[in-house]
Amino acid sequence: MSTANITATQAPVTTIREIGRHEGQAVTIRGWLYNLRESGKLLFPIFRDGSGVIQGVVAKNAVSPEMFDSVKKLTQESSVIVTGKVRADKRAPGGYELDVSDVQVVQPVPESDPFPISLKEHGVDFLMEHRHLWVRTPRQASILRVRAEIIKAARDFFDDRGFILTDPPILTPAACEGTTTLFPVDYFGEQAFLTQSGQLYIEATAMALGKVYSFGPTFRAEKSKTRRHLTEFWMVEPEIAYATLDDLMKLAEEFVAFIVKRALERRRPELETIGRNLAPLEKIDTPFPRITYDEAVKMLQEGHAKGELENRFEWGGDLGSPDETYLSSKFERPLMVHRYPAAVKAFYMEPDPQRPEAALCVDMLAPEGYGEIIGGSQRIGSYELLLKRIREHGLPEDAFRWYLDLRKYGGVPHAGFGMGIERVVTWICGLEHLREAIPFARTLTRIYP
**C-alpha closest to that of 94 among 23, 187, 32:** 23
Residue placing its CB nearer to Mg ion in the complex, 76 or 377: 377
Which of ligand 4AD, Mg ion, none lies near 374, with the C-beta cut-off 5 to 8 A by kind?
Answer: ligand 4AD
Helices (H), 306-339: 321-328
Which of 260, 338, 420, 441 is in the footprint of ligand 4AD by CB under 6 A?
A: 420
Omega within 30 of 0 (cis) for the link into 413 = no
Q: Which residues pair with 194 in a beta bridge?
A: 171
Residue placing its CB nearer to Mg ion in the complex, 210 or 217: 217
- What distance in Å separates the CA atoms of residue 15 and residue 145, rounded to the nearest whole number? 16
Which of 32, 47, 417, 427 is in the footprint of ligand 4AD by CB under 6 A?
A: 417
Contact footprint for Mg ion (CB under 5 A)? 375
Residue placing its CB nearer to ligand 4AD in the complex, 58 or 194: 194
Backbone angles phi, psi at 211, to 5 degrees: -125, 120
Helices (H), 365-441: 383-392, 401-405, 421-429
Beta pairing class for 53-59 and 79-88:
unpaired
376 lines the binding site for ligand 4AD (CB under 6 A): yes
375 lines the binding site for ligand 4AD (CB under 6 A): yes
Helices (H), 213-318: 245-266, 268-274, 279-282, 293-305
177 lines the binding site for ligand 4AD (CB under 6 A): yes
Contact predicate 240/211, CB 8 Å: yes
Residue placing its CB nearer to ligand 4AD in the complex, 106 or 151: 151
Residue placing its CB nearer to ligand 4AD in the complex, 82 or 438: 438
Contact predicate 34/51, CB 8 Å: no
Which of ligand 4AD, Mg ion, none lies near 14, with the C-beta cut-off 5 to 8 A by kind?
Answer: none
Residue placing its CB nearer to ligand 4AD in the complex, 52 or 376: 376
Site for ligand 4AD in 313-372 (CB under 6 A): 372
**C-alpha closest to that of 364 among 327, 311, 414:** 327
The letter for the amino acid at 316 is: G
Which of 27, 63, 373, 431 is in the footprint of ligand 4AD by CB under 6 A?
A: 373
Which of 81, 245, 360, 374 is in the footprint of ligand 4AD by CB under 6 A?
A: 374
Which of 176, 259, 309, 380 is in the footprint of ligand 4AD by CB under 6 A?
A: 176
Question: How many contiguous H segments (helices) and E segments (strands) does the chain have?
Answer: 13, 18
Q: How many chain residues are in contact with ligand 4AD, going by CB under 6 A?
A: 24
Site for ligand 4AD in 193-252 (CB under 6 A): 197, 199, 220, 222, 229-230, 233, 235, 237
Degrees (nearest 5) of the Cα angle 279, 280, 281? Answer: 90
Under the rule (CB under 6 A), what is the footprint of ligand 4AD?
176-177, 197, 199, 220, 222, 229-230, 233, 235, 237, 372-376, 416-420, 422-423, 434
